[in-house]
Amino acid sequence: MRAPVLPAVAGALALAAAAAPLAGCAFRPSGDGGGDLVAPDGAGTGDPIDAATSTPLDGPPPCPDADQDGVCDAVDDWPCGTRPTVPASVAIGTVITASVSGVSIDGGGNTAVVAAGSQLSYELAWTLRDMNPLCTTCVDQLEVGLVPGRRHTCVFDANPPQNQTMSGTATVPMTAPSTPGLHSLRFQIAQDFSCSAFGRTDWWIAAPGADATFGVLCVR
């Protein structure tokens, strides 16, 4: 299916079409009799060569634009407003530090447009370093999941050696939210007895803040 043409492109095409006859044919000063592709041909009044550009190039698109970002729905590759920029590597923590990088949502980058309720997965690389001298026997978790929403899993769940950077990669399957709009993928450090202590499946204590965002989904 051919994608709808944007106003700016339409204007350029119209100009090209209008200019073409001038290049190889004699100029018609008035009362164009047809054949110059400028529509509509007027009844004895001629058609100004610039008639097709009367629509301002920076005006609103004459097409459905649900997120009002100036890009027609039919060709909008991010129908959730302006596509956010998510850092390639995100680090959190002080005494215990962690990072997430190399995020790929369904084989793409760290932002993705996904269908509501669809099955997908994301890949990431992580690090975790425990430098807390007061809790050398504590178990750490590195939780990842949706905000708003629930934790998906723990990509790390163990008592790491003190002052050593642990690292790894993970592929996390998930179901896309059923609510259209923006949803963040975030991570946080937890210190429960284990990832699933007491049957817990949601975030430890509270969901992580915006500074721990490593991916963004535009659900539609």
Give the interface with Ca ion as residue ranges (CB under 5 A): 65, 67, 69, 71, 76
**Minimum distance from CB of 71 to Ca ion (Å)?**
4
Q: Specify the DSSP element, H or E, that contains 15.
A: helix 7-24
**Minimum distance from CB of 72 to Ca ion (Å)?**
6
Q: Kindly state the tokens that stand for 22.
A: 């001038």
**CB-nearer residue toward Ca ion: 68 or 94:** 68
**Minimum distance from CB of 70 to Ca ion (Å)?**
7
| CA distances, 68 to each of 61, 81, 165, 172 (Å) | 10, 7, 45, 33
Spatial separation of the C-alpha atoms in residues 88 and 90, rounded to whole Å: 7
**CB-nearer residue toward Ca ion: 41 or 65:** 65
Classify the phi-psi angles of 69: left when phi > 0, otherwise alpha if psi is within -120 to 50, otherwise beta: alpha
| CA distances, 194 to each of 55, 93, 141, 190, 219 (Å) | 63, 19, 7, 9, 31
**CB-nearer residue toward Ca ion: 32 or 65:** 65
**CB-nearer residue toward Ca ion: 67 or 106:** 67
Strand partners, 190: 141
Spatial separation of the C-alpha atoms in residues 181 and 166, rounded to whole Å: 35
**Minimum distance from CB of 86 to Ca ion (Å)?**
20
**CB-nearer residue toward Ca ion: 51 or 71:** 71
**Minimum distance from CB of 68 to Ca ion (Å)?**
7
**Residue with the closest Cβ to Ca ion?**
76
